[in-house]
Structure 1
Amino acid sequence: MFENAIALDSKVHAKCKMVLSNDMTFARNTLSAPLSATEVVKASREFPIFFPTKGHFLPVAQMGYRKNGNLYVDEQGAWTARYKPAHLRRFPFVLGARGEAGQYVLMVERSLISEDGDGEPLFENGGVPEGGIVERAQAFLTDFQKELTRTEALLKPLRDADILVPRTYNITQGEETLGAVRDLQVVDAEKLAALDDATLAAWVRSGLMAIVMAHLHSLDNWNSQKNLGN
């Protein structure tokens, strides 16, 4: 999604404008999206939700199983699911890490800004216009980053409880393999039920159990995705 992202600069891009679009073509090859805790229940009604085996430990919405195969972007570039993860909604903006920990710079997809034509200006008089596109993007991305950080902390007990098991999903049609999803983990229901009452109660109170249950229910969406892809 962000292969051509550049850091925004009020001097370099002083005259640049942008036209926002509902075209989701950019997401055709985006097959998964990290989720904040506040998104999980809504996302679980649409997508299978898994947990990663490496990297940031966040719930992941799976949206396809082969290259350029996001199952929720149609031929016209329209989004067809009822819910759109914040990971996609932030496009064409993204936060890029600076040298210092916790410091970020606002970045944007290079091809979508221009000094020519119509659009909303990114900067005015050397600064960020109040309520303008840059300020809105900064607010959205800052909130999203905070939500992801809170979610990773919320999920730490799940990661430490040793109730996750690895899964590989192979999608076949007859003898042909259409695709595979690897490096994912799911909650083992038997191991979950074997946890002590104090742990389960703590998970209910913290909101972690709601995420776990949404994840388990979401796995039924895997069959729906197989049908969408065939």
Structure 2
Amino acid sequence: MSELLFYRKPVALNRENHRNLKFSPDSKFLFSREINSVPLTGIEFFEASRDLPIFFSRNESGQYFPLALLSLRNNQHALVDEDGSWQGSYVPAFIRRYPFAMTGNQTVCFDEGCKQFSEEVGEPLFDEQGENSTTLNNVLQFLTNFDKSYKATQEFSATLAEQQLFKSFDMQVMAGDGKPVRLEGLHVVDEAKLLEVEPEQVQRWFKSGQLAWIYAHLHSLGALRQLSKQQAQANAVAEAKEKAEAGALN
């Protein structure tokens, strides 16, 4: 399921079974390296649009949802270095919430295969009475806020679809290594059609702040050039490393 994209061994957090579990926070994001996009909520559009293109994807049920494009290559991105540090200006909340998650039915899960969990080292998730610790309450607050934003974004996307504002985005771009890549299966808001939307709907978007989401999305499309540049830099670093390793062997 998409909610648990990075999780190797997702399990539901249980007050009894995990009474002694401890968690060690980490600011590294190596776990995300093998993807090229993640879902993005509308409230994140402003920050993300600085260096991440925002598109809309359509699932098998015909529902649209925004995503942040992390790379022009499949199954990889260059926004984390070898140490796992994030190289961009904004880390999507979908990534930051790992190794925790909240499923559609409000079940809190965690990746039991993640090394940040232990019964010996870290911050307790439950106190001696079995109540939530401050650490766990902070996690739950983040997950709850994310879930609320996610649902609001679903409604926003559905309204855009009802207004028939989506158009396919199909173009060829350079991936940073001199090779062209064709982007397919993505959608963007049709700005020409946006100008034809009834004033009452535009006013509702304006009052909710969602009209700004639309323009942040459109503004973000210029970040495709930034992705190409990042990929070129990553390719140069990888090539230099290969040459250094080859020289060491000789």
TMscore range, shorter length: 0.7 to 0.9
| Deviation of 1:169 (Å) | 4.5
Q: Provide the rounded CA distance (Å) in 2 between the counterparts of 1:195 and 1:119.
A: 53
**Residues 63-106 of structure 1, C-alpha deviation per residue, up to 9 Å, x if partnerless?**
11324422211122101111111111111101134xxxxx3221
Alignment of 1:2-81 (within 5 A): 2-54=7-59, 57-81=64-88
Gaps of 5+ in 1: 98-102
Is 1:114 aligned to residue 118 of structure 2? yes
Is 1:127 aligned to residue 130 of structure 2? yes
- The one of 149, 157, 160 equivalent to 2:159 is 157
Q: Which amino acid aligns with 2:165?
A: I
Q: Provide the rounded CA distance (Å) in 2 between the counterparts of 1:81 and 1:176.
A: 23
Runs of 4+, deviation exceeding 6 Å: none
Structure 1 vs Structure 2: percent identity of aligned residues?
29
Please, what TM-score do these two structures have when normalized by structure 2?
A: 0.79
| Deviation of 1:20 (Å) | 1.2
Q: Which amino acid aligns with 2:131?
A: V
Most deviating of 28-37 and 158-167: 28-37
Secondary structure at the counterpart of residue 134 of structure 1: helix
Q: Provide the rounded CA distance (Å) in 1 between the counterparts of 2:18 and 2:107.
A: 14
Secondary structure at the counterpart of residue 64 of structure 2: coil
Q: Which amino acid aligns with 2:126?
A: F
> Alpha carbons of 1:164 and 1:9: their partners in 2 closer, same or farther (altered >3 Å)?
same
Secondary structure at the counterpart of residue 182 of structure 1: strand
**Contact 1:14/1:126, CA 8 A, preserved across alignment:** no
Gaps of 5+ in 2: 1-5, 233-250
CA-atom RMSD in angstroms: 2.3
Q: Provide the rounded CA distance (Å) in 2 between the counterparts of 1:21 and 1:185.
A: 34
**Aligned pairs, number:** 222
Q: Which amino acid aligns with 2:119?
A: E
Secondary structure at the counterpart of residue 211 of structure 1: helix
**Contact 2:43/2:213, CA 8 A, preserved across alignment:** no
> Alpha carbons of 1:175 and 1:41: their partners in 2 closer, same or farther (altered >3 Å)?
closer
**Residues 15-36 of structure 1, C-alpha deviation per residue, up to 9 Å, x if partnerless?**
2222111111011123222222
Alignment of 1:77-226 (within 5 A): 77-97=84-104, 103-111=105-113, 112=115, 113-116=117-120, 118-125=121-128, 127-131=130-134, 133-172=135-174, 176-177=179-180, 179-226=181-228
Please, what TM-score do these two structures have when normalized by structure 1?
A: 0.85
Q: Provide the rounded CA distance (Å) in 2 between the counterparts of 1:80 and 1:209.
A: 29
Secondary structure at the counterpart of residue 65 of structure 2: coil
